[in-house]
């Protein structure tokens, strides 16, 4: 599942003053030293190995590779969860799902979303004088959830394939549970549906145009800005826009990767033209590739999860294996972020929230604990120190959603539970609980092939520290000001511009 905007991740914010009919670029009397602009671009289901700067054999990310050569590449960067809603909720709040309440994905008919009592990055930065957009926040443009969660007349490429929306009466029936036909995929501008079903073949360019327009207007407004772009790429269905048609002998996935790279390039070019000296551009992903989609899925690079492969199932998206949560990440800010640098600091999507707040000179929201850290020292080349420990939440392949049963400690990683997600061949890996956790040394075994022997000195040295850290974070969460998301579903919550037409059809000029 992909990015769940208005009624999912943003439903908790639509009634707290974050979505406005028009972008407000007034200065509100703000004076003093300029605050940096912040642009966050989040790819969907993009594998670590899909970035050319990570894997030399990848030739489809020219703009991103140029950004890496002009900025900083993070080799050990991780999503906050291995599926979409929890990962994105953590980006917006700096808190794991057990704290912010979002532990698994929402549905088309979801009543709730990110809890109202959670404070988002946009809320904090608005108080610091920022104008915000999510393509938007003050301004919003996009679809409210994954673009596979509704039918379209341009269904693109999926595995298995899905048909176009029905065109006539209601006798047409759903051919399979993986295809949505009861509601068409809506495109929102602020709180209005402007197109339903959305034309996927032109969506990427619309995102680029709206992002470029916002950067241009915000740059001339006298106010700093936050722009968060949650891409539909590289989630299925894949839909390639002319003139980037799939070339001969090239896979659809690689053609779509080139389209995404082109979109990012347009945004970066606008930043360079309008606000290069004072804008941090941060690119990363929400989780690893969706291996179940076969040739329409990306590459995990060298993070094969071989122990799980031998047990069955996929070690990518929805799992706590490296392929599920290690994601490509780049930072670009000429004159501030050093050029052509690779950082090996252990960092996370969780760190975007506290880092952006620190750069804006704002303060973290009170009366709650956070799981990210201020990574500005790493960004500016002053430090190589990131996290010593990260916790990877269960994300669907095994265990209770959001539970913390996988622990990263320096270059070691311990699994108290394992399981494989649905693989391309239809297999899944059995859920296995490990009283004595499997522990891998990622420095020597990035493929997670052979766990340490339980009797080895290395295992015995790591085990008590892992157990202590896990007990500490669970105690901290239990005592924290945590939220609970409403996962209730109601068909009446389904967005539809015309409920009297099958599949909801409308077009706005």
What are the tens digits of pLDDT across the range 359-393?
999 999 999 999 999 999 999 999 999 999 999 99
How many H-runs (helices) and E-runs (strands) does the chain carry? 11, 17
Largest CA distance in the chain: 69
What is the rounded CA–CA span in Å between residue 162 and residue 237? 9
pLDDT digits 0-9 by tens, 389-428? 999 999 999 999 999 999 999 999 999 999 999 999 999 9
For the beta carbon of residue 372, count every other beta carbon within 10 angstroms. 24
Beta 389-393 vs 404-409: how paired, if at all?
antiparallel
Sign of CA dihedral 136, 142, 144, 145: negative
Spacing of C-alpha 349 from chain mean position: 8
- The answer to whether the CB of 331 falls within 8 A of the CB of 341 is no
Cβ atoms of 42 and 146 closer than 8 Å: no
402: phi then psi, degrees, rounded to nearest 5: 85, -15
Distance, in Å, from the CA atom of 347 to the CA atom of 268, rounded to the nearest integer, reads 23
Over residues 486-507, mean pLDDT: 85
Mean pLDDT of 470-497: 95
- Tell me how far the alpha carbon of residue 360 is from its chain's centroid: 22
DSSP classification of residue 151: B
Q: Which residue has the tokens 């269905």?
A: 237
* 11 φ/ψ angles, rounded to the nearest 5 degrees: -60, -30
Q: How confident is the model at residue 181 (pLDDT cuts 50, 70, 90)?
A: confident
Instruction: Compute the half-sphere exposure of residue 263: CA atoms within 13 Å on the CB side of its CA.
Output: 29
Q: Residue 397: in which H helix or E strand, if any?
A: none
Would you list the DSSP string of 203-247? HHHHHHHHHHHHHHHHHTTTS-EEEEEE--TTSSSB-PPTTSPPP
Quick: pLDDT tens for 185-235. 999 999 899 999 999 998 999 999 999 999 999 999 989 999 999 999 999
State CA 350 to chain mean position distance: 11
315-329 pLDDT, tens digit per residue, is 999 999 999 999 999
pTM of the model: 0.92
Burial class (CB in 10 A: 0-12, 13-18, 19+), 453: exposed
Query: Measured between alpha carbons, how far is 105 from 4 in angstroms, rounded to an integer?
Result: 8
Backbone angles phi, psi at 244, to 5 degrees: -90, 45
Give the pLDDT confidence score for residue 177 in this predicted structure.
Answer: 65
Residue among 157, 171, 80 nearest 404 (CA): 80
Q: What's the rounded Cα separation, in Å, for the pair 117 and 446? A: 39
Contact call for residues 335 and 381 (beta carbons, < 8 A): no
d(CA 251, CA 453): 41
Q: Residues 86, 78: contact at Cβ < 8 Å?
A: no
pLDDT in tens, 75-93: 999 999 999 999 999 999 9
Q: Is the pLDDT of residue 3 over 80?
A: no
Mean of the per-residue pLDDT values of the chain = 90
**95 prior amide bond cis, ω within 30:** no
């Amino acid at each position: 599942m992909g990015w769940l905007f208005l009624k999912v991740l943003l439903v908790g914010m639509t009634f707290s003053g974050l979505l406005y009919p028009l972008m407000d670029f007034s200065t509100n009397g703000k004076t003093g030293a300029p605050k940096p602009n912040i642009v966050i671009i989040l790819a969907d289901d993009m594998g670590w190995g899909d970035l050319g700067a990570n894997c030399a054999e990848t030739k489809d990310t020219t703009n991103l590779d140029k950004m890496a050569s002009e900025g900083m590449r993070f080799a050990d960067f991780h999503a906050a969860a291995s599926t979409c809603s929890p990962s994105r909720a953590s980006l917006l709040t700096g808190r794991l799902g057990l704290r912010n309440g979002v532990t698994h994905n929402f549905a088309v008919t979801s009543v709730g979303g990110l809890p109202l009592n959670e404070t988002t990055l946009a809320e904090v930065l608005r108080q610091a004088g920022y104008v915000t957009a999510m393509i938007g926040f003050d301004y919003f443009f996009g679809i409210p959830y994954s673009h596979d969660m509704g039918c379209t007349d341009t269904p693109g490429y999926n595995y298995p394939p899905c048909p176009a929306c029905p065109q006539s009466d209601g006798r047409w029936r759903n051919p399979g549970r993986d295809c949505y036909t009861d509601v068409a995929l809506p495109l929102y501008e602020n709180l209005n549906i402007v197109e339903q079903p959305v034309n996927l073949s032109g969506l990427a360019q619309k995102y680029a145009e709206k992002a470029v327009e916002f950067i241009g207007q915000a740059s001339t407004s006298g106010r700093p800005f936050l722009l968060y772009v949650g891409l539909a790429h590289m989630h299925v269905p894949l839909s390639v826009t002319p003139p980037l048609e799939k070339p001969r002998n090239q896979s659809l996935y690689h053609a779509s990767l080139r389209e995404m790279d082109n979109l990012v390039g347009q945004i970066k070019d606008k930043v360079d033209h309008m606000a290069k000296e004072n804008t941090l551009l941060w690119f990363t992903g929400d989780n690893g590739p969706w291996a179940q989609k076969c040739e329409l899925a990306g590459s995990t690079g060298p993070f094969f999860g071989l122990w799980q492969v031998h047990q069955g199932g996929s070690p990518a998206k929805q799992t706590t294996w490296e392929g599920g949560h290690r994601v490509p990440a780049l930072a670009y800010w000429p004159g501030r972020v050093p050029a052509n640098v690779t950082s090996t600091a252990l960092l996370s999507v969780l760190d975007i929230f506290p880092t952006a707040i620190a750069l804006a000179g704002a303060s973290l929201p009170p009366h709650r604990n956070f799981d990210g850290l201020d990574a500005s020292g790493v960004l500016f080349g002053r430090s190589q120190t990131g996290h010593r420990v990260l916790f990877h939440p269960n994300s669907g392949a095994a265990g209770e959603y959001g539970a913390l049963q996988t622990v990263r400690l320096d270059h070691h990683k311990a699994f108290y539970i394992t399981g494989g997600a649905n693989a391309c061949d239809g297999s899944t890996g059995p859920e296995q609980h490990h009283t004595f956790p499997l522990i891998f040394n990622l420095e020597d075994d990035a493929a997670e092939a052979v766990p340490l022997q339980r009797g080895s000195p290395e295992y015995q040295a790591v085990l008590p520290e892992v157990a202590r850290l896990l007990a500490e974070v669970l105690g901290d969460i239990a005592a924290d000001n945590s939220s609970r998301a409403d996962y209730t579903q109601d068909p009446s919550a389904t967005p539809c511009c015309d409920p009297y037409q099958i599949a909801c059809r409308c077009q706005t000029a």
